[in-house]
Structures are given as C-alpha cells and as structure tokens.
Amino acid sequence: MAIEITQKRHTFPVNFENYTSEEHLNQETVSKKSRIELLYPGKASREEILEGTPAYPLREIAHYGQKRLDGWYNRLIWGDNLFVLKSLLGDAEVAQKVSLIYIDPPFATNQQYRCGDSRTSTMSWSQEDALAYDDTLLGATYLEFLRQRIILLRELLADNGSIYIHIDCKIGHYVKILMDEIFGQDRFINDITRVKCNPKNFTRKAFGNVKDMILFYSRTKEYIWNDPREEMSDEDIQRLFPKIDEYGRRYTTTPLHAPGETINGPTGLPWKGIMPPKGRHWRYPPDELTKLDEQGLIEWSPAGNPRKKIYAEDVIVRGKKRQDIWKFKDPTYPSYPTEKNLDMLKMIIQTSSNPGDLVLDSFAGSGTTLVAAEETSRRWIGIDNSWRAIEKCQKRLRVLKGHSSFTLYKLEVVTN
C-alpha cells in the first residue's frame, strides 16, 4: 500500500529519485509555512474521526484502594482505546483536562508478543505462553490506526499539556510527519533518543540497534516544563571543570559574549575599553561585568580576553541539564513484553506535569506509566485492549503501599 508525502498542492512520492526540477523548488510552489502530510488509501478526515467514532459506555467492574481527598477515582479501562478515548471526550472531568499523555504503541513489527507465568521475553517465547498482544498492523493501515487515536488524544489534552510517543526508528519517521500534521510543526519539541539495551553482537549486516525514539509535542506553546536535571558524576566534574583555582576549587570558563550585535543598548557598549567581538554582544551590561570582575568571577587570558568563571560546586547542587539522549534501559526481567523503564516514566511525568495533574496512557501494557504516576502523586487513566495487560496493571498497582483508589472499567460495545 503506497504512502506519499504531500506539500501544498503537489504530491511528492516517498522515493524522491529524479525529483529535483527547479519548477518544484521555487517559493511559489514550496512555502516554508506550507503544510506537509502523509497521503495513503483509507485516510479519514479529522471531522470523520471526531464525529463518526462512536462513544460506548464504560461498565464498572471493580474498585480498589483508599479514597482520595479530592474525590477523584483513577481509572483502569479494558477495551479498544479508540472508542474509550471518544467516550472520555464526553467526560467533563477528562476532556481538555489531561496534563500529560505518554503512549508506547505497537511498533508495526508484524509480531505476536507473549508472556508466561515464569518469564517474559520479547526475543524468545513459547507457544504455551499466553498472548499479550498482536502487533501485526503494517504500513498505511498501522499509520491510520495510530493517527485516529492521536487525533482523539490531542482533544483530551489541556492547553498546557504535552504528549510523548515512544516509537522505533523503522516507523517513527512516518509518525513524526503524522504528529506534525496533527499538532503542527511549531509544536514539535524534541526527538529523543533512548538507549534501550546493552550493545548487541548479532550477525546481521548492519550497525547494532541499541536505541529507539520518543517524540515530544505540546498542545500550545504554554506547556508545563519542570526543567529536569541529572546528577553529575565524578567523571563529569573532572571533564567539565578541568581548572583548579588557588583554593583547590574546580571551575571552567565561558565566553562573556553571545551571538548578535546590540545596536541600541548597554550590551553593545565598550567595557574596560573592550568592545564585544564583531557580530556579538556582551551577555551582561557593563556595570554587571564590573561586579563580576570585582567578585573574582572573571578570568583574563594573557591576551587580555575576559571569560566568566563557573565553579563546579555551584553546578553540582542543581545538576546538569538533561539532553535528548537518554540511557534508560529496559528491565532485564520484564513482567510484560516491551515493558519500559520505571525511572524514565517518573522523569517524564515529573518534567511535564505537577502533583495532582492528570496523566493518561492509552496503551497501558504492564502499567509502568500508571505506577510512575501513582508514585509521583499524579492522577491517572490507563487503557488497554488486552486482558493480560489489565491483569498486570492491577497486580502492580495493588501491591503499592497505600495506593490511591482506582476503578476498573470494561468498554461495552453496543451493536445495532
């Protein structure tokens, strides 16, 4: 089934061979702001998805845990997430109230994933093991399956909400275009590389695959962001702060100027007879530069160039800024196929939501997102179509000491 990329009124085949004519590259044809989208057979319109997807009732099956002071009941829902999400759109407690969505959907691997009572493995399994879930949708069918759910998910997000989609590199680049189409290119924040395992030694004629990707988008530009920091190792400190002052304190230096000239303003003025380099400006007004110099926080090179001192002790307290390459390896002994790292989910939740906020995972799997939300004092909703997954979620949640209340629901599909 063919998948195409279109921009404005022109359709570009995914295979770009022999497609370099100047007539297709001028500003009249290709605008920087023109929309890019995937085209494939069976692609429904946004209106068809939002208006044509039925909303079925949710039947309460069981209730667990201690009642929350705010009266909220967390929700674990068994059923097709497409119809569950549409039902949640009619719930005033949920619609446009979700602060954070994390999903780890199927990766279009054309595999079945199984788990036994004694072990769970993605790479090896027995026919006697129970079926956890099918990952057999491929190509355009898979993309439309995911797209319809992402469109509904976006409608559940609060204005300050964001979404993380965990995917692999085989299908992830198509999903990136879908996300640009649904959320807008300007709402793309990060393409995160996640190191998932130790180096591999397979005989396949390719580089070893040790990573997957997480696409991070927000609904608006005013999204929740609690700047995540990483603890600095001794190696980090020695590498990043190679200098030592007369008191034995480690430090490094950074430029006192930044790109861009200041035409009318103090940061473009001379300081101690020195102008900022051509095409740059001072990072601080001259009076602040003087204060830094008086405090001994400026180091002068033999050539007379000033640089600001940054001491390790000041940075260690806060930690280093987390970058877009993460080392959160999958559990060695997972309780469910493709189970993700709990520390990674806690970090995502603490970064993009606040205590008491609502977190949603519509491909809940083993429940790692729900456990992370519970342990970081967030409210949560988990959805999965696999009863095996629902069982795992219940088991993990119910062993948490003092876990807050949650209700188990089943989607009741009504047929005429």
Residues 313, 329 within the same domain: no
Nearest to 5 by CA among 42, 38, 41: 38
pTM of the prediction?
0.84
Quote the tokens at residue 334: 């997972």
Task: For 348-370, give one letter per residue: b (16+ CB within 10 A) or e.
Answer: bbbbbbeeebbbbbbbbbbbbbb
Which pLDDT does position 19 carry in this prediction?
A: 44
Write the CA distances from 205 to 57, 89, 171, 331, 384, integer angstroms.
50, 47, 20, 27, 36
CA distance 40 to 412: 31
For residue 213, give the 3-state DSSP assignment: strand
Answer left, alpha or beta for residue 57, where phi above 0 means left and psi between -120 and 50 means alpha. Answer: beta
- Answer with the one of 318, 334, 356 that is the final residue of a domain: 318
Question: What pLDDT digit, counting tens, does each position of 322-354 carry?
Answer: 999 999 999 888 888 889 999 999 999 999 999
Strand partners, 133: 113
Residues 184, 83 within the same domain: yes
3-state secondary structure 74-122: EEEEECCHHHHHHHHHCCCCCCCCEEEEEECCCCCCCEEEEECCCCECC
Residues 82, 176 within the same domain: yes
Q: Decide: 39 and 5 in contact? Cβ < 8 Å.
A: yes
Please report whether residue 187 resides in a domain.
yes
Please report whether residue 283 resides in a domain.
yes
Q: List CB contacts of 129: < 8 A, sequence separation 6 or more.
A: 114, 115, 116
Residues 203, 349 within the same domain: yes
Residues 314, 374 within the same domain: no
The domain tally of the chain equals 3
Quote the tokens at residue 297: 């926080």
- Answer with the one of 318, 342, 357 that is the final residue of a domain: 318
Please report whether residue 416 resides in a domain.
no
Question: What pLDDT digit, counting tens, does each position of 347-366 carry?
Answer: 999 999 999 999 999 999 99
Which pLDDT does position 150 carry in this prediction?
A: 97
Nearest to 397 by CA among 64, 29, 27, 146: 64
Q: Decide: 32 and 42 in contact? Cβ < 8 Å.
A: no
Nearest to 106 by CA among 125, 127, 132: 132
For residue 209, give the 3-state DSSP assignment: coil
Bridge-based pairing state of the strands 325-327 and 188-195: parallel
Which pLDDT does position 117 carry in this prediction?
A: 61
Please report whether residue 45 resides in a domain.
no
Q: Decide: 94 and 88 in contact? Cβ < 8 Å.
A: yes
Which pLDDT does position 128 carry in this prediction?
A: 61
CA distance 341 to 269: 51
413, burial (CB in 10 Å: exposed 0-12, middle 13-18, buried 19+):
exposed
Which pLDDT does position 71 carry in this prediction?
A: 87
Question: What pLDDT digit, counting tens, does each position of 169-205 carry?
Answer: 888 999 999 999 999 999 999 999 999 988 878 788 8
- Answer with the one of 318, 347, 375 that is the final residue of a domain: 318
Question: Could you tell me the residue range of the domain that residue 22 belongs to?
Answer: 4-39
Name the DSSP class of 255.
Answer: E
Residues 238, 122 within the same domain: no
Nearest to 253 by CA among 264, 262, 242: 242
CA distance 130 to 336: 11
Residues 305, 387 within the same domain: no
Nearest to 380 by CA among 411, 403, 359, 353: 359
Nearest to 101 by CA among 252, 223, 236: 223
Residues 8, 88 within the same domain: no
Residues 213, 280 within the same domain: no
Residues 266, 375 within the same domain: no
Residues 163, 68 within the same domain: yes
Residues 10, 33 within the same domain: yes
CATH assignment of the domain containing 328:
3.40.50.150
Q: What is the pLDDT along the chain (416 residues), one digit of tens a residue?
A: 567 777 654 444 444 444 444 544 455 445 555 678 899 999 999 999 999 999 999 999 999 987 788 889 999 999 999 999 999 999 999 999 999 999 999 865 657 666 666 555 554 555 666 666 666 677 888 899 999 999 999 999 999 999 999 999 888 999 999 999 999 999 999 999 999 988 878 788 888 889 999 999 999 999 999 999 999 999 999 999 999 999 999 999 999 999 999 888 999 999 999 999 999 999 999 999 999 999 999 999 998 999 999 999 999 999 999 999 999 999 888 888 889 999 999 999 999 999 999 999 999 999 999 999 999 999 999 999 999 999 999 999 999 988 899 999 999 998 86
For residue 349, give the 3-state DSSP assignment: helix
Which pLDDT does position 18 carry in this prediction?
A: 46
